[in-house]
Structure 1
Amino acid sequence: AYKSQKSSIEASYGQALTDAQFAEVIANNFGSVETYRKMIAEQLMVDSYVRLKKADVLNSPITISDTEILSFYRKNRTQFVSPETVKLSHIYIPMVADQATNDKNKALLDDVAGRIKAGSLTFEKAVVDYSQDTQSKNKAGDIGWLTMDNTEALAGLGDTFFDVAFTTEVGTTSDVVTSLNGYHILKILAYNETKILALDDAISPNTTSTIRDYIRSQLSQTKQQETYYQAINSLVDELRKSASVNILYKK
């Protein structure tokens, strides 16, 4: 439990924490690591007791109706927005420390781009012959989907790469694009505009899970939490009703 709590806090901070850093976080919020450990142990004891006494309720299957899913979707549909996306392949040569080599590599790709546009060289053949991206080279240069709101990719590739990727027509190739880490020739495979997703649309181009699946999962988790807290309240009421108090005193 202690390790899982540490992982949870690391996730909220967005980084791994050393034991000393974790202890500092705990001390700032709970006084000490020992106090925190004791609190977690008590919570686990209560949880085990509740799950034992209310197993019939907590183990009952939870069902989510289509009506509930549709109602949730209608109230929250503006949250289910797919950003502008593009699927692309590239021919890539990375930058190196030596500028003369970089100039030579860019000139090479300028020539390759010209031959592709002239029809004397196919993009797929150029990937095999010239690309230095080992991960995409055996997939005709396919690097998957890029979303306009991907700030991590933007930070790594730069504005110019994004501008070309999202303005080049589907099925065509670009001139040489200089990103923050190298030189690319892009081929645009598919493009999707920003839109509000329908219930049975995939959450993203890279997954088969739909908005309906996501909503069902969220509603199921909410019902599980509600059932758990109702079980606790019911158990507390039962314990109160069955409790007896003896007052011992001397005259």
Structure 2
Amino acid sequence: MKQPEPRHTIRFTLTTVLLAGLAWAQTNPTPTSAVAAMTELFGDQVIARGKSFEIKRSQLDAALLSFKATMAARGQVIPPAANLQVERELLQQLIRIQMLVGRATPEDRAQGRANGEKRFAQVKERAGSEENLLRQLKSVGISPDQLRERLIEEAIAEAVIIREVKVQVTDEDVRKFYEENPAQFEQPEMVRVSHILLRTVDAATREPLAEEVRQAKRKQIEELLARARAGEDFAALARQYSEDPGSKDRGGEYTFPRGQMVPEFETAAFSLKPGEISDVVTSPFGYHILKLHERLPARRIPLAEVQDRVREYLTTQAIQKALPDYVRKIRAEETVEVLVEDLKPVELADLPVETNAPAPPRARR
């Protein structure tokens, strides 16, 4: 229901691509793993290597499948003529990650494992259930353990970059950015609400549920409304009955400004008084009841509340500026070879270093 908040950390493209494709995979299941089938038929050829690593065909195939899933999620298809160039770029990303992991210290590995496990837990939470996660990952050709290891590996690579590509962001740099970008730190009026959702569409297929099921849910939401207005703990009711995986464990709670929720939900939330419980609200997701906890007036967020995010953003920008030269240096030290002629980059020196460009820090919404 809610738009995701942008992250301001260095993130390599491969796992970002995979995670972006999971929403598409949820409604486009694949009965068998294309990567496993190709590996069984043709073996798992080593396609690139350096002093400290090898990359096999199955790794590139998995990255390509994830990339295509992401393109499908955006309504795009890779033209056949572009397939080879996409494979070349993805292979270069795999090489970069392996080179960095090969330079990791024990401290880098410990930090990377901790960060990777945290990211995996976030993926599981967003999936809503273990069953949903398994179905989504199967559709893009990997297992939960493989995703966990991929997240950990990329987090280790990030730790190496932060340690080796040394940059310094001063307090004055942070203050200057804050003062020169006031619009980034304006927080609009927000509301903090809890809600209970009973879905009238299938969570996986987005198809409407049968009429008799919708009628039963309407009756149930009316009963829950009566219980909430009679004084039962709203958060406890949400944890027990709500079918919104993104909020039920928090007692149904969201804090948001205008423009982030579906219109029916937003209109109801902003029309309530603190402590008031709405009538039944119907949205494309199903039936809701909402309780408003508080209104948060518009304000400019003080520097003290955002200085860590500003420092992280400026550090990321500085690292990304220095990253291409650093990658060229370690590539020469690794004496990297691409063993499949078609996968060799046309002009290696011109290839970009692919990380997610960080969005400027904004007021949290």
Q: For the superposition of Structure 1 and Structure 2, which TM-score range results when normalised by the shorter chain? A: 0.5 to 0.7
What is the correspondence of 1:85-234 to structure 2 with a 5 Å cutoff?
85-95=190-200, 97-110=209-222, 112-114=224-226, 116-117=228-229, 120-124=230-234, 127=237, 131-133=241-243, 135=245, 139=250, 141-150=251-260, 153-154=261-262, 159-201=263-305, 211-225=306-320
* Shift in alpha-carbon separation, 1:195–1:111, aligned structure 2, 3 A: same
State the alpha-carbon separation in 2 of the partners of residues 25 and 11 from structure 1. 22
Q: State whether structure 2 residue 176 is matched by structure 1 residue 71.
A: yes
User: Is the 1:80–1:197 contact (alpha carbons within 8 Å) kept by the matching residues of 2?
Assistant: yes
**Runs of 5+ unmatched residues, structure 1:** 49-57, 202-210, 233-251
Query: Which whole-Å deviations, capped at 9, do the CAs of 1:119-164 have from their partners, x for residues lacking one?
Result: x44243981798343856665x3233344332xx42xxxx222100
- For residues 98 and 165 of structure 1, the distance between their equivalents in structure 2, rounded to whole angstroms, comes to 28
Counterpart residue type for residue 318 of structure 2: K
1:215-240 CA-to-partner distances (Å, cap 9, x unmatched) read 212222343355568999xxxxxxxx
Quick one: structure 1 residues 174 and 9, their matched pair in 2 at CA, closer, same or farther if it must change by over 3 Å?
A: closer
RMSD: 4.6
Instruction: Tell me, in whole angstroms, the C-alpha distance in 2 between the residues paired with 1:125 and 1:79.
Output: 33
Q: Could you tell me how far apart the structure 1 residues matched to 2:180 and 2:235 are? A: 50
Per the TM alignment, residue 186 of structure 1 is displaced from its structure 2 partner at its CA by 0.9
Is the contact between residue 165 and residue 326 of structure 2 (CA under 8 Å) also seen in structure 1? no
Give, in whole Å, the separation in 1 of the partners of 2:235 and 2:13: 51
Once the two structures are TM-superposed, the CA of residue 170 in structure 1 deviates from its matched residue by: 2.1
CA–CA distance in structure 1, aligned partners of residues 241 and 290 of structure 2: 11
User: Aligned AA for 1:18?
Assistant: K
- Cα distance in 2 for partners of 1:125, 1:7 equals 34
State the alpha-carbon separation in 2 of the partners of residues 222 and 67 from structure 1: 16
Aligned residue number for residue 18 of structure 1? 68
Structure 1 residues 175 and 65: CA distance shift in structure 2, 3 A: same
9-18 or 106-115, larger mean C-alpha shift? 9-18
Q: Which amino acid aligns with 2:78?
A: Q
> Cα offset for 1:174?
1.0
Shift of 1:180: 1.5
Deviation per CA, 1:38-89: give whole Å up to 9, x if none.
9x59x97xx99xxxxxxxxx95843322111111111112123334433322
Which amino acid in structure 2 is aligned with residue 193 of structure 1? P
Q: TM-score with structure 1 length normalisation?
A: 0.55
Cα offset, 1:21, TM superposition: 3.4
Q: Aligned pairs, how many?
A: 195
Q: What is the CA–CA distance in structure 1 between the aligned matches of 2:233 and 2:253, rounded to whole Å?
A: 14
Which amino acid in structure 1 is aligned with residue 68 of structure 2? Answer: T
Distance 2:235 2:321 in 1: 58
